Every structure is written in structure tokens, then in C-alpha cells.
Structure 1
Amino acid sequence: MILKRNVMALALASAGLCFTAGIHAAPADNGNGSAAPGAAQDAPAAQNAPTKKDDKKTDDTTAPKQSAELAKSLEGITVTGYNAAIEKSIDYQRYADTIQNVITAADIGGLPDQSIADALTRLPGVSAERIAGQASQVNIRGLSGNFIQTTLDGREQPSTSGSNYIQFDQYPSELINMATVYKSSQASLIEGGVGGTIAMQTANPLDNKKDQSLNVDARGSYTGLAHNVAGANALGYRLSAAYQGKFLDNTLGVGLGVAQMYQPHVSEQFVGEAYSSTQQQLNVNSPQQGYLPEGVQLQQNGGQERRTGYLGTVVWKPSDELQITADSFFSKFKNESFGYGFRSQNFYNNSAQITNPVFGPNGSVIGGTVSTNPAGVGNAQFSNETTADNYSTTTNVFSGGLNLKWNSGPWHIDGDLSLSRAQSHEVNVDTTADPYTGLGTANPQLASQSMTYLLTGRSIGQVSLANPGMYTDLSQMALSRYGVYPYVYHDRTKAFRTSVKYDLPNNSIFSALEAGVYANNHTYNADRSAYVYGSEWNSDPSLGQPPLTINSSNATTECWKGTFGGFPCFLKLNGPGILASHDITANPVKDIINNNWTYVQSGQVDQKIRDLFLMADIDAQVFGHELTGNVGMRVSHDSQFSYGLQQVGNGAGIPITDGNGKTSSDFAPLNVGKKYTDYLPSLNLIYHLTDNDQVRFSAAKVLSRPPINSMLAGSGSYITNGNTYNIYGGTSPLLNPLRAQQYDATYEHYFDDSSGAITAGVFFKHIKSFIQQVTYNNFDFSTVGITVPINPATNAPYLNGDYQTAYNAKGGDLRGLEVAFTKTHFLPGIWSGIGVDANLALTSSSVKNPSNLGGPTQMIGLPGLSQRVASAAVFYDQGPFSARVSANYRSHFVSDTQIAVDNQLVVFASELVYDFQASYNINDKLTVVYQLLNASNQPTRTYFTNQQQTGTIQYFGRTNYLGLQLKL
């Protein structure tokens, strides 16, 4: 009883300090010192593995007996290269209390991958979505990044994506020492990982084997596809340097790191756009109907990517009891991405006529000749428009804090104070030009046009133009529209965590008790603005912004090469230059008159999280075998409120003056939100059958908070029939978190001397809800606190109308099987350096989503879920030579990351990506390295519900790296 009082008193005292200070920070091991007591929050303490020069240390994330075994095993690893990294990873997995997979670097800067996302895809059930050819958003067990919690040195990471998911290409692999994927939960883990938790760690300089070390890596790159893309550069480089030093009799450690990447951004893509949701008449001369696509695109993407990351760590350990760590991480990623080509637009809505149609499944039209409607028929807005897009993005992430650990006898106290922030600024420029007759007159007219196309499923389709020379003739071409739509996001977190652990060495069931608190203040801002000149196809001459003529200094003729050779040539446009030649300067601002959606989509979300947890480590004997693990409870109290503007109309709001100096009173401020509390029990059990065999079982209630951008309060409105008030927006600050129950069971066999493992496991998740958009008809707005404005014609409120919002749709089950096999040193003699690492995950779900982007409404799968995910690698370390060949496979999956005119929900086809790396140690300090990424030039292929309805076929090319590593 006295013990319980002491534990709770310390926990409450820590909580009091937290709330008195009013500063909040993330729990968990900061990765730069010994782990937080007890499974300390997020990652196994890789840095706590003892070295032959250090005193014995134990990993506090496991029970004492397991910690001793882990320390003993890691100390015995003397192999190098890939074998060393694999064997370290096996031991961390073996002795952890939770079901987890680990990747480690044999040396700092030693991960053989372009980004952490690439490294993570080597783990069972982990896959990544390739954006611009690079692994970016990570999926775990069939769940997308919005279901995944991510930490760096134990601190929640802010997002640059505009949503919850982390873009892992923001994190240079050269600065990450270890990454852990938690597949089961425990009370001390920060909530948020229904799919899993990814914990990245940097190195602790006091655990470095040398008193002083400096690792320098320099590699040049070559991307052959750049020669096919206008203005792209084929050459790039990666540079990194990492220093670690120990001073004052190994009581002061300093770690510094910098990593820079420059590489071309190149791709070629063929895009088939989404289909009409209803059948439409194909042409005026025939009653024939079909589901029509919006259009097709051909585009070259060029530009450059530059990422620079910095890392700084200072660790002071004046005694065995006390350790203080200050550390920071900063990464800036600038992606200059330009797209040039053409887009055949407006096939449907009676804007064009289609003859000689080719029908695919379900009545979809996958080919035919598309031409301008006869005079006086339809909208006459079909055009093969020339496009110049700019999707350039600059993002940065900062994460840093101060960590204090105190260990005295059975008592362990950990406190962590942190600040994290992220910013993303996307330019998003859309430039279109079209052929006209009567240029230079007061009334230029869109020229009559015709094109023939055929979609060929997952292969590049066919496109031909009736008069291709017209589209490179500057006497006929003019800029119709120039739009700039900046997206700016800010994501900031202030967090505080403290925990207290008490060891119970003489208890027959529990080896330790731990309690802690966590507080996090999270603020998200979205800021939209716009500038638009003209109208697409000059569809709105009333704007008084006619098509702009193009001179030769602002346009060059480009033609396709290689796989895309044979498609019509096009103009590479300089949109800002064309405007400047007509004395026009683009100035994007918030526009309350012509683009009032810039106010609807801007706003702020504030989240306050206050957590308590209590956990007991288990170490008992059951039927003559050891049973270890933990049991605990986490109580999470969340408050979420959003500040935005609602369009009420009729001057019923407050006066707002926009960036153009125009004032409107049609918007009223909103402050909407809710609070909720969740009780999250967890259980992890490991039954040790033999020294090399064990069975695990885990169960937990978990949650992921709603995507932050889906909780914006802003909404727009419109009036129909003069008396009905409708609201659009598609977001809601009243969303509930994504709650789930999950269960895991695994069997694990480990080979002697940490030389490999065979594991097999099953999992089951019941997810209560998913976030979806919905439109309610004849909705009573008063039920959600929305006041319907007064209709001046009747002096009474408008009638209730449609309400577009986000809601918690019905959830479903997710189940799967994961098997993995790893073995090193299984052959004799010179072949003993060969090792293999392979895994397979099979996942299924009852969840289906409706989609009408392929024509008639059809049910498609859960976004992010591939039914089959596999990876395999063969590696070899012998003397100075090391080599690794790897392959990653994932079957088809659904995602909304395809960009046509807007983001579209499509099916990504299965893909298999091969990589190769080899190195040779010239001496003990200098190594030469070669890498080949995407060796088979695997493209990204998408389609709409049926494989014949092409979405995007996008090629990124192969990338070669050659360089040197210097270790001092």
C-alpha cells in the first residue's frame, strides 16, 4: 500500500509540474540517451545496447531478465555490414515486450536506402506509396498513413502533408540510426496508431564505440529518364557528414550531422481522367449513350528536389543516476516540379461529340474520336489545351527538446519537454493555352478541334490530333487562363511527458510498476489564396480578360522521346513571362468576391491532449516456463475545436476586407468542437517455450485522431430556387476518433547466435468507423448549431437544404497473416557471408467504399490495403566486399493520391521494385559504394475500378549512385 502511494504521489507530482508550467511535450525516449523507464514510450533503446568498452546497461523497454539477454546478445555481435544490421534487428524484436519489427544501421549513416520510407518497406506488412518515384506515405497492415503514429526520438512528428500522415521522404536515412514499427500497443505508447506506430531514433554519442568519430558520405547520381524531359537535369548528388565525440571521461557526448540531397524530379505520364457518374449521349446524331471520361492528359514532369537535414545532440551524464539530453532535428525539402504537355478536356456534359466509340466494361467509353460540337449545340468548350503546371512545394520540419532521466536503485524518473513544428507551402500553378481564330480581334473564338484516343488499361494509351501543327503555331495559340493557388499549412506541437517507474525484483508476478502523464497542445493552420487571369477555353468573356498572345521568347516547341515517342509535339510555356509581356503580374491573395472558397478552406484546428497511464511489467513462471510482458491502462482526454468562417450570405456576417481591398459581410466566424475521453487497456504476453521459441499474444483498445484537415470548421453556402439554403465544405470539427480493438498472436523461433528467425503471426482489428464525406438532403441545420439566414424576400429563414460534411461512417474488420524468414551464416567457407531476409503479409478487410469515378457506382477496397505485400533480399558480406539485392512487392490498392485536375480515388496496380547496392572497403577508412534504384524502371499504374479504364501510367526511370564513404 505504501508502495502504491509513493508511485501515485510521484506521478501526480509530475502531473502537477506539467500543468503548473503550462508547457507540454511528447513522451518517450528521446533516442539520445538511455531509454525512458519501462517501454519508455516509443522506441526500444538502441543506444542502450552495451559495448565492450561500456558498463553493462539494460534496455528498460523489456523485463529485467530479457534486458540482460538482449545486452548479452548485442555485445556478442561482431559481424559487419548487412549481417550485423540484420542480427541487431532480430535481437531487438526478440526481446521486446510488444510485437514489433526493427531496422538498424550497422553504423550511423549506414542505412542502404534513399529515405526512411524505403527502409521501412523491408519489414513485414509495411508498404509505401511512391509519389514522384519515391516512397513517401507508409501503409501498415493495409491501413493508410492517417492511421499511423510517428515519432522521432519519442516525440510526435508534425506533418507537412496537410493531413495526419507523415511524408517520410522528409527524413534523410543518413541521420536515422534505427526505426521500429510497433504492431501491438502498450499503455506507455502515445495513442494514435490504429495501424501501428513508427518510432525513429537518432544516435546517442555516449554509446559510440570510439571516443571521436567522423563519417562522411559523398555520392553522385544519374537518372537517364531526364534526357526525355524538357529542361530536366540527369545528374544529382547526396552528401552527408556525421560526427560523434565523447569528452570529460565519457560524461559529455556531442553528436552533429548534416545530410544534403539534390536530384532531378523527372517523370513521363499518361493520364485518363475520371468518368461521368451517369450515362450521357455521345453525339447529336445518335441516341447512343455511355459513361464518358472527363478527358486524357500527356505530361512531362521536370524540376529538381533538394533536401537538407541537420541534427544536433548534447548528452551530459555526470553520474550513473542522472542524464540530461538536449537535441534537435531540422529538415528542409524543396521540390520544384513542373509539368508540360497537353490535356484533352471536356468530353462529357454535352461539351463535345464522340464518334466511333470503343466501349469497355459497364458501358464506359475507353476510346473514340472526340471533336468540337456543331455550331449552336452544347457548350462548345472541348479543347486539346496546352498545359504548364507547377506543383512546387517547400516543406520544413523541426523537432527538438530537453530530456532528463534519473535512476536510483529501484526508482526511475523520466521527463521530456519538446517543441515540434512543420510548414508546407505549395505553389500549384495551372496554365492553359488553346488554339483560336480571330486572335487580335475583339472576339476571338476557340478553334474547332478533333482528337482520337484509346485507353489500353495498364499500358500507355493512344492519342492522335487531327491537326497537330496547330498546337505549336504561335499565330493561333494564346494563353486562356493562368491560375495560382497556394496551399500553406502550419502544424505545431508543444508537449510534455513524465513517467515514474519502480522495480519489483522480488515479486513473483510483476517486475515493475510504471505511471506517467502526457500533455500535448497541437495547432494546425490552413491558409488558402488565389489569383486567376482569364477563363479556361475563354468560356467567360464577360470577365474582360481575353486570351493573351504568346511570343517566341515565352514558348518553345518540345517533342516526346523514348517510350512516349510519337505523341504530338507541344509548346513549353512560360506562364509568368506571358503575363509580364502583357504588363500583368500575378498576386495571389484571399479573394472574398470571386474566389470566396479561399476563406472557406482556411482556418485553424486546436487539439489539447491530456493522458494518464499505469502499466505493470510481467515476469512470472507459468507451468515451468517464463511468462513476460505487460498490462496497463491509458486514459486519454482530447479536446478539439476549429476556428473558421461560414458563408451566411445577405450581409448577415461580419465585414471582411480581402487582399484585393474588397469588403463583404457574407461570412460569420465559427468556433466549433467537442471533447471526449477514452479508456485504452492493453495486454502483451510472451510465453517462452524454450530458449529459442516463444509465443506472443497481444490485445488492446487503440485510437487514431481524425485527419486534422477534415476537422476544419469553414463552410460555404449557396441558394437554390431562391428559397433553399445549402452548405458545402466536406469537413467537420465534430468528428470522433477512429477507435479499434486489436488482437495479435505470433509464434517465433530464433536460430542460435542471433543468426536468424522464423516468425508467423495473425492479427485482427475491428475498426468502429472511418471518415467519409456525405451530403445530407433537407438537413436540419439547427441540430449542429448552424443558423439559417433570413430570406429578405419572405423575412423568414431560408428552407433547409443540402449539407455536405464529413462524418464517422460505419467501420469494419481487418485481418491478416504475416510470416518472415531471416537467416545469416548458413553456408560454409567463403559463402558464409550470404544471408537472406524475406517476408509475406496477407491482409483482407470487410470494408468497402462506393466510387462512381469509373462510371456506375461500384464498391472498392479500403484505401491503403494491399491484399499481398512481400519483400525479399539476398545480401553478402565477405571481407571488404558487401552486396545486397532486394525486391519489394505489393498487390493493387486504393488511394486518393492521383492528381489529374483534382485528387482522385483510384486503384493502384500491383508493382514490383528491384534495388541493388554493393560496396568495397579500400581500407579500414575508405569505402566505394554503388547503388541502382528501381532497376526494372517499374512505373506507377492506376485505373478506375476496372483495369481497362486507365488512370495514370507514370514512369520515373532508374537512378544510379556512385560514391565514397570515409570513416575516421
Structure 2
Amino acid sequence: MIDSGSRFGVRGAARLSLNASTGAIAASLLFVATSQAAFAQVGTDPSLTPNVETASKKVAEENPDDIIVSGLRSAIAASITEKRLSNQIVESISSEDIGKLPDNSIADSIARLPGVTAQRVDGRSQAVSIRGFGPDFSTTLLNGREQTTVGDNRGVEYDQFPSELISQVVIYKTPSAALVGAGMSGTVDLRTIRPLEYGKQAIAVNARGEWLSLGALNSGSKDTGYRVSGLYVDQFMDNTLGIAVGIAHMESPTQIERFNAWGYPNYDATNIIIGGAKPYVTSTELKRTGVVGTLEYTPNDNFTTVGDVYWSKFDDSQILRGIEFPLQWSSASLAPGYTAAGGRITSGTFNGVKGVVRNDANARDATNLALGWNAKFQKDGWMAFTDVSYSHVTRNDTILESYSGTGPAGSGPYDSLGFTTNSNSTTSFNPSINYADANLIKLTSPQGWGSDVIPGGQVGYVNYPTIDDELFAWRTGFERDLNMGFLKSVSFGFNYADRTKSLTQDEYFLGLKNGALSQPIPTGSLLAPTELAFLGVPGMVSYDPIALVNGGTYNLVRNPNADVLTKGWSVSEQVMTGYLQFNIDSQIGANTLTGNVGVQVINTNQRSNGEAASGTPAFTSNNVTGGAEYTYALPSLNLALRTPEQFVARFGLSKQMARARLDQMRASINFSYNPALAGSTDPEFSPWGGSGGNPALRPWIANAVDVSFEKYFGPVAYVAVAGFYKNLDTYIYDQQVLYNFTGFPVSSGPAPVLNVGYVTIPTNGNGGEMYGVEFSGTLPFNKFASALDGFGLLGNFSITESNIQPDPNNPKSPIPGLSKYVGNATLYFEKQGFQARVSVSYRSEFLGEVAGFGNARTFRTVDPETLVDAQIGYEFQAGSKFAGLSILLQGQNLSNEPFVTYQAGDTTQVIDNQNFGRRFLFGIGYKFGMNK
């Protein structure tokens, strides 16, 4: 190990030196990348990784004639040094300067690392996949501590965290015994600044304005936004007390043109046809305020204590306006004279179309609080630390649908709707009705949906899901210097975590007052018509649906059906982790071998509460509980062999674990009872059945082998190839298993002879294999000619394969989040304050988790994506009267890449085509301070 246990905290090395005299890189390098190992964690064992100050000193010793730089090249230099010194296989990005990550969002920055991708949600990079595994297989930490999450499961939505307040993001691709809370695909650790280790006073303020190329698509929406931030770092009492305080606020809009298809049924023996469509324009506005604070006290060389607080308020409002056209899957009929090509009806006219004019709205209000306190004492070869943390998330959503049309179901007027398949496999329309006429379009139920609950049908629907997630953790650990041959030290410790997360569903059908089947839209709620011209519809009636709900226009009728009751759940976990790790540091001839070997023992006690309900409407509801207790031992080995020629070879061997999704662990069950089978004694013909969750689920478990070969050419250039292989002992998929229905009520008929029956629930089954290779490196062009100083290229390329079959009962399909090919490249220039870069990111098709019917999560194939971003900027240098001032211009999604999903493995059967347009940002920043 390379001095990794000497400090416990984050060294804010904002500058590293560059050596202009290092050797050339092979010209065959196609992709190069930035990746850096971790700052030593607060809240984890300090033997885990070396820190940036150690790396900086190492570079300075090796390169005494270096030129000092800052910004992007400094971040690259730090990343390379830390990668070289790390004992594990890690990737990371760090701030180019105080309060400035390389990208506009954390997820965008993470997605540029080798083997890492991000999925866009509503135009923002949000969910991250590591090495082909979806977000459920990774863990996210904040300053080394596991966090609660805003989403329904464990995966973190990274747009909750302001990039301005994060100093570094580290991804551990291999675990160690001392890394508590590790994921199976990787562990993401978000780091905030440590004021004493930053070592100087600094004040930084930044402001950015943004503009969207699509304009404001909905009445009352915005196509401009802004973000502002400020960060203050200082030291007092002879540099024994440090403070860091930051705040960031943003109001960021997104505009989306969205084509959505119901699906593509067979029209005849040779042709498919669109079953229905739902073209929308969507306008969102994200308002987020984040605050961080750190107080660090080091009265002497033996003792350090740090307190952290992170708080964020997240408000995301969304308006969706469009017309839902029921076509083949409705009473509408295709008129003669249509055209067909390639096994598809490509154009024609549907008669008798009853369009549903949709004015929908979604809103999310989420609050995130994370507190942590850490203390460390070291003396006479011993180090001891303790860490206490608390994390809490509350989330309240509104998911509102509001319907209008020409009249209630069964009455006209009807539309004769022309349609044409476009070159991108979407469909455009030519209506015969003016959907923008407020005298024609009324609040009503054009299709009669929900008529079993509301006579004549519902005129809308509203869902108020809430999430509450709370986590308390306490950890203590020790390290003892050994200096026994190849064993440098031993680390051991204990962690206890108690987490409870619950989801509550509150859903209502919307009906009109006094049983009315239709009524005019209140004039006070009418807005300017919305254009759907991108798909051929000139305009539609627009109004504020939330104002109608709050103003009492509707009757709210609670949804009494069993499926609503069984969506809710509460899951609790008490996890006790003990670990023992030996740290290795040995000379083998002229080479150095470092690493660690150890074992983690994890005991989990999990419980879930939920509802058991049946029927439409539900005739009964019982509280059900369940759970499991289990213990796993997770051994791990990490070795790094370094040669005098700057070669590094790494080897990792480990057993890895990822806990099941929380919604899979719910105890809730939607059951059925068939009185006709009450006398059966054969479980195959039991009167009982149903579906739900499984509170006794065990985690995903994998045996993993990792290797990496790296060649370094001084502090700013390297090439590397890494490979991994994971053999999953188990995989979780839905299966039919026997369930004990003892005590469940009978809806009607005689009592059953059997109290068992088959239910479909998530179950641990056979696993499979995942393996891949990753190429990465950096290439500064001054290695070829001094005239090219300042130019450089960085990037990566990865190939991942899998033979895992998520559901053995159905045809083989890829696991969620897996793109076989992923690549990133950035061409940059940075010198004398000028900076310019162009970045290209590519991922091949993958199975993505998206919002389906009723906002339920579903999986669809996502088309390959190539995203292009660019930025230019200038920072006034020392000696200028504007020193410390910087300006920046950014462009995102310059390739105007849509987000496209399709079904049945057929790229012509497009379900979603979402166009986000381009985003441009202009920013100014100012920093000042003094060395102490």
C-alpha cells in the first residue's frame, strides 16, 4: 500500500504540475479517458485509498521542474496520479476548480468514465449504469456514507445533487473488505470539500443562464432558466479549524416533443398497424436548492473530527398536453385506400376516431437531508475512528390526467384522421376536427374509461404517491501498523445500518359534479392553444388541470381496486457488517506490490408490511408481513504490481452482493379466489392465486475477477486496458411459487379445502455471466510537438457481453441497462486561461426502465445514442485587473439526439420518440481568496 493510511480526509488539490518532457504515446490509441482514484473517505476505513495530497507530493518529488497549471489539465493530472497509486480499480472525476465539475450535471460527468453510461429521463441524465448493470446493482454514497433515495427503489437520481457542491466523484469497480455498502457493479461515492485539507481561503461564486432551442412549447412554460452558486472555504485558529459552506440554486426548464404509440397489432396476415397514439408536448421546470456545510477540527496530529450536513429541496413541475388517438385498438375503422410497405400500413385514414384531448400535469416535491459526524484518533501505530450518520428523504408526487373531447363516449362528432408513417418511424396526423376550438371541446370522457366506477366514464385521474426513506448508520473501525514482511497494516471494524422506506399510493378517479357527462371548460382556466405541429396537429385546447382540481370542478372518487391497495409497501432493513482487512506493501526485486486482502461478513434482517387485497373493487384488505434473516461472507483480494518503467498490473478477486429492489421486497399481494375450485386438493387447481412481492428475497450474489494493465508516461498521459468477469450465483425474476393463504378471507362460496396456491412473485433463480473489456487513456498532443502544447484527447471504449436471462420463462432478453458498446472521447485545448472542448458520448441499444401505463415502471429497448457537447471559456489570469473572473459558453446535445424506444426488437415499431432539442448555457464566475 502506498501511504494510504496516513491521512483520513479529502485533500483538495486544485493544482498539479505538468511535465513537458515525458515520452510519446502510441499513435494507435483511439480512445482515451480520465479516471482518478479516491480521496480518502470520511466515514470509511482510511486504508481504503491514498489521497490527492499524497499524489500531489509524489508528482512533485518525481517532477521538480514542472509547470503549475489549473483547470481541466490539472484535473486530468490528478486523476492519472491517483489511478496509478490506487490499489483498487477505480474511476473518478474531480472539480476543475472550486465549485466547478467538468459538466453541467453529476450524471453527465460520471457517464464519461470507462464502462459507465447514463439514461436520460425528461431530457436530463439521471440514472447511471456501471459495466452493463442497471442502477439497482450499484450503490451511491455521500462522503463514504450510504444514502436514502428519492426514487421508488435504491437507485439514486443524480439530478438531486448540485454539481457545484461536489468536489469529486469516485467509482470503485472492485470492492475491498473495508468498503462498506459496496454494490455489485460498482460503488459511486460523491465527495464534498474538506476545508483544512484544501488549505487556503477561497470564495467562489458562479452564475449561468440557459436557453432551449425548442422554445416554450406549452402556454405559461419557459425556455430560459438560470443557476447560481456560492462556496466559501476558510481556516482559523492556526489552521486547526476549517469551515466550508456552499449553496446552489437552479431553475431549469426542459421542453420535449414526444411521439408515443400504444403499440402495433396485426392488421392482416402480412401487415402491422398503429394501435393508437399519444403525441405530446411536455414542459418541465426543475427548481432545486442545495446546501452543504462542513466543520473540520484538527487540534493536533493525533486527532481529527469532521461534521457534515447536506440538504436539498427539489421541485419538479411538468405540464403535458396532447391528443390521445385510439385507432386500431378502438371502434375506429381503417378506410379503404390505405398504403402498405415493408409489412406495415404506412398511410391511410381512420374513420370514427374519438380523440381524447389530454391536459396532464406532474409535480414532485422532495426534500433530502444527510447528516454525518466523524472522529479519528491515531497514535503509536494505532488508528481508531467512529462515524455516525443520518439520512432522510421525503417525496410527494402529483400525477394528474385530465380528459376532454367532442362529447361523451358513444356520441359525436367523430374525426376522420389521416396518418402517415415518417422517415423516423413515428406517425404524423391530419385531423378533420379543430381540437383548438373551446366551443367544441368539453370536459368529458370521450372513451368511457372508468365507467365501472363513474357512470359515463372518468374525466381524469389523479395519483398522489408519497415516499418516506430514513437511514441511520453507525460505524467504528481500527487500523494497526504491522510492518511484518509484506503485511503493512491490519484494518478491522463494524458497521450498523437501520433503514426504513415506504411507498403510499393515494389514487382517485375524476368525475364531473352532479353526475354530468360533459361540461364546458371553465373560461377562467383556458389558456392559449398548444401546437402539436411537429406531428401535424395544428393545435389543441389548453387549460390548467391543477387549477380545476383545486378549484372544485371535479369530484374525486377514491380508486377502490385491489391493485391500488397492493402497490403500497414498507420495507425495513437492519444490516450489521463486520470486516477484517490486511493491507499489503512489499518489494519484489525492483517492483512494488501493494494491495489488500480481507473479508466482510454481513448479517441482514429484513421485514416488509403491505396489503393483501382482492377484487375490482377490492372486497377485503388484510395487513400482511414477512421477511428473512441471512448472513453472507464476502471475501476480497486486490493486488497492484508497479514496475520502475511505470507499468501497473492489477488483479482483483471478490464475492459481490447487491440487495433486491425494494418494490420487489414488498409483502403486498393481490390475490384471487375461485369458489368453483373450493373442493380441489391439488395445488395445480387451487382456488387461490395472485401476484405480489417477496419480503424473503435474497440479494444478487456474484463471484468476480478483475484485471487491469496500465502504462504511464509521466503525470499526464497513460494507456490502460481492463477486463472483468462476473458469475452470478443468482438472479431475481418472477416465478410461480406456492403461497400459504391461511387466514385469508373468502369472497364468496364455500370454504376451501386447500389453503395454498400459486402466486407470481420475484424469486431468486439461476444467474449467469457478465464480462467485458475497457480501453482508456489520455493523450496530450505536446508529446508530438511543443507547438501543440495545450491540446489533448481523452476518452474510453468498452465492450460488455452477458448470457444472463432475466426471465427463463420467456424468450431471452438483455438485462436492464446493458449497452454492449460504450464510448466517450473529448478533444480539448487549455492554455493561458483559454479553454475549449468537444465531447462525444456513444452507447449502443439497451433495455431501459421507463414510465409506462399509469406511470408504472416498465422496460423497453432504447435506441443507440450519440450525444455531442461542447464548451469554450476564458479565465482572466494573474496580473489582470479582472483576475479571478471567468466566462463560459456551453452547448448540450448539439447533435439533437432523440430518446427513442421500440418494441419486439423491431426498430420500426417506435413506442417513444422524445426530442429534447439543444441546450445552451452562458456563465460567469469569480473566485478570490488567499493562501494561509
- Once the 2 structures are TM-superposed, how far is the Cα of residue 63 of structure 1 from its aligned partner? 7.7
Tell me, in whole angstroms, the C-alpha distance in 1 between the residues paired with 2:614 and 2:297: 58
Alignment check: 8 A CA contact 2:9 2:197 kept: no
Q: Is 2:473 aligned against 1:508?
A: no
Alignment check: 8 A CA contact 2:141 2:189 kept: yes
1:4-83 alignment runs, 5 A limit: 44-45=38-39, 60-62=47-49, 71-73=57-59, 78-83=68-73
Q: 552-561 or 951-960, which moves further after superposition?
A: 552-561
Counterpart position of 1:37: none
Change (3 A) 1:827 1:927: farther
1:567-606 alignment runs, 5 A limit: 567-578=537-548, 583-584=552-553, 591=558, 594-606=560-572
Determine which of 735, 740, 743 is the counterpart of 2:697.
Answer: 735
Change (3 A) 1:293 1:849: farther
Determine which of 626, 631, 638 is the counterpart of 1:677.
Answer: 631
Counterpart position of 1:469: 434
Q: Is 2:824 aligned against 1:867?
A: no
Q: Is 2:923 aligned against 1:937?
A: no
Alignment check: 8 A CA contact 1:615 1:630 kept: yes
Change (3 A) 1:834 1:359: same
Q: SS of 1:93's equivalent? A: helix
Determine which of 306, 326, 329 is the counterpart of 1:325.
Answer: 306
Tell me, in whole angstroms, the C-alpha distance in 1 between the residues paired with 2:754 and 2:566: 21
Q: 238-247 or 564-573, which moves further after superposition?
A: 564-573
Alignment check: 8 A CA contact 1:32 1:315 kept: no
Alignment check: 8 A CA contact 1:649 1:789 kept: no
1:83-122 alignment runs, 5 A limit: 83-122=73-112
1:418-429 alignment runs, 5 A limit: 418-429=389-400
1:547 partner letter: S
Q: SS of 1:428's equivalent? A: strand
Counterpart position of 1:760: 721
Change (3 A) 1:740 1:567: same
1:656-671 alignment runs, 5 A limit: 666-671=620-625
Counterpart position of 1:208: 198
Alignment check: 8 A CA contact 1:479 1:550 kept: no
Determine which of 464, 486, 494 is the counterpart of 1:486.
Answer: 464
Alignment check: 8 A CA contact 1:548 1:578 kept: no
- Once the 2 structures are TM-superposed, how far is the Cα of residue 807 of structure 1 from its aligned partner? 1.9
Determine which of 910, 914, 928 is the counterpart of 1:950.
Answer: 910
Counterpart position of 2:244: 255
1:83-103 Cα offsets, whole Å, 9 max, x none, are 000110111111111000121
Alignment check: 8 A CA contact 2:375 2:385 kept: yes
Alignment check: 8 A CA contact 1:63 1:618 kept: no
1:540-571 Cα offsets, whole Å, 9 max, x none, are x9x94523332444334535377x16334211
Q: SS of 1:87's equivalent? A: helix
Tell me, in whole angstroms, the C-alpha distance in 1 between the residues paired with 2:133 and 2:662: 17
- Once the 2 structures are TM-superposed, how far is the Cα of residue 800 of structure 1 from its aligned partner? 5.9
- How many percent of aligned residue pairs carry the same amino acid? 26
Tell me, in whole angstroms, the C-alpha distance in 1 between the residues paired with 2:399 and 2:535: 28
Alignment check: 8 A CA contact 2:665 2:697 kept: yes
Q: SS of 2:407's equivalent? A: strand
Structure 1 unaligned runs (5+)? 1-27, 35-41, 49-57, 373-381, 438-442, 536-540, 651-661
Q: SS of 2:444's equivalent? A: strand
- Once the 2 structures are TM-superposed, how far is the Cα of residue 914 of structure 1 from its aligned partner? 1.2
Alignment check: 8 A CA contact 1:329 1:400 kept: yes
- Once the 2 structures are TM-superposed, how far is the Cα of residue 966 of structure 1 from its aligned partner? 0.7
1:97-139 Cα offsets, whole Å, 9 max, x none, are 1000121113221212121111111210111001111110001
Tell me, in whole angstroms, the C-alpha distance in 1 between the residues paired with 2:592 and 2:371: 39
- Once the 2 structures are TM-superposed, how far is the Cα of residue 831 of structure 1 from its aligned partner? 2.8
Counterpart position of 2:879: none
Q: 110-119 or 163-172, which moves further after superposition?
A: 110-119
Q: Is 2:675 aligned against 1:704?
A: no
Q: Is 2:606 aligned against 1:640?
A: yes
Alignment check: 8 A CA contact 2:361 2:546 kept: no
Q: SS of 2:149's equivalent? A: coil
- Once the 2 structures are TM-superposed, how far is the Cα of residue 898 of structure 1 from its aligned partner? 4.4
Alignment check: 8 A CA contact 1:251 1:318 kept: yes
1:385-422 Cα offsets, whole Å, 9 max, x none, are 11112122122221111100111131111110000111
- Once the 2 structures are TM-superposed, how far is the Cα of residue 866 of structure 1 from its aligned partner? 0.5
Task: Please identify which structure carries the higher helix content.
Answer: 1
Q: Is 2:731 aligned against 1:770?
A: yes
Counterpart position of 1:690: 644
Structure 2 unaligned runs (5+)? 1-6, 14-35, 446-458, 678-685, 877-881
1:826-858 Cα offsets, whole Å, 9 max, x none, are 354453111211110111111245699xxxx75
Q: SS of 1:708's equivalent? A: coil
Tell me, in whole angstroms, the C-alpha distance in 2 between the residues paired with 1:649 and 1:909: 39
Tell me, in whole angstroms, the C-alpha distance in 1 between the residues paired with 2:291 and 2:550: 39
Please report the RMSD computed on the Cα atoms of aligned residues, expressed in angstroms: 3.2
Q: SS of 1:94's equivalent? A: helix
Alignment check: 8 A CA contact 1:560 1:566 kept: no
Q: 621-630 or 406-415, which moves further after superposition?
A: 621-630
1:759 partner letter: A
Counterpart position of 1:927: 886
Tell me, in whole angstroms, the C-alpha distance in 1 between the residues paired with 2:582 and 2:516: 70
Tell me, in whole angstroms, the C-alpha distance in 2 between the residues paired with 1:464 and 1:805: 45
Change (3 A) 1:598 1:831: same
- Once the 2 structures are TM-superposed, how far is the Cα of residue 433 of structure 1 from its aligned partner? 1.4
1:604 partner letter: S
Tell me, in whole angstroms, the C-alpha distance in 2 between the residues paired with 1:561 and 1:791: 48
1:891 partner letter: S
Alignment check: 8 A CA contact 1:429 1:485 kept: yes
The TM-score, its normalising length taken from structure 2, stands at: 0.87
1:131-174 Cα offsets, whole Å, 9 max, x none, are 11111000111111110111010110111111111000111110
Determine which of 511, 522, 525 is the counterpart of 2:499.
Answer: 522
- Once the 2 structures are TM-superposed, how far is the Cα of residue 33 of structure 1 from its aligned partner? 10
Counterpart position of 1:21: none
Q: SS of 2:76's equivalent? A: helix
Q: 922-931 or 143-152, which moves further after superposition?
A: 922-931
1:402-441 alignment runs, 5 A limit: 402-436=373-407
Q: 413-422 or 763-772, which moves further after superposition?
A: 763-772
Alignment check: 8 A CA contact 2:888 2:924 kept: yes
The TM-score, its normalising length taken from structure 1, stands at: 0.84
1:474 partner letter: N
1:115-134 alignment runs, 5 A limit: 115-134=105-124
Alignment check: 8 A CA contact 2:47 2:491 kept: no
Alignment check: 8 A CA contact 2:428 2:535 kept: no
Change (3 A) 1:864 1:213: same
Tell me, in whole angstroms, the C-alpha distance in 2 between the residues paired with 1:204 and 1:800: 58
- Once the 2 structures are TM-superposed, how far is the Cα of residue 473 of structure 1 from its aligned partner? 4.8
Counterpart position of 2:174: 184
Tell me, in whole angstroms, the C-alpha distance in 1 between the residues paired with 2:325 and 2:730: 39
Alignment check: 8 A CA contact 2:37 2:90 kept: no
1:257 partner letter: G
- Once the 2 structures are TM-superposed, how far is the Cα of residue 876 of structure 1 from its aligned partner? 1.5
Alignment check: 8 A CA contact 1:60 1:67 kept: no
Q: Is 2:273 aligned against 1:312?
A: no
Change (3 A) 1:136 1:315: same
1:909-966 Cα offsets, whole Å, 9 max, x none, are 1111111122212332211111111112211111112101012111112111112111
- Once the 2 structures are TM-superposed, how far is the Cα of residue 275 of structure 1 from its aligned partner? 4.8
Tell me, in whole angstroms, the C-alpha distance in 1 between the residues paired with 2:854 and 2:347: 20
Determine which of 337, 350, 353 is the counterpart of 2:333.
Answer: 353
Counterpart position of 2:521: 550
Q: 333-342 or 620-629, which moves further after superposition?
A: 620-629
- Once the 2 structures are TM-superposed, how far is the Cα of residue 321 of structure 1 from its aligned partner? 0.4
Tell me, in whole angstroms, the C-alpha distance in 2 between the residues paired with 1:359 and 1:741: 51
Alignment check: 8 A CA contact 1:82 1:876 kept: no
Q: Is 2:162 aligned against 1:172?
A: yes
Matched residues, number = 864
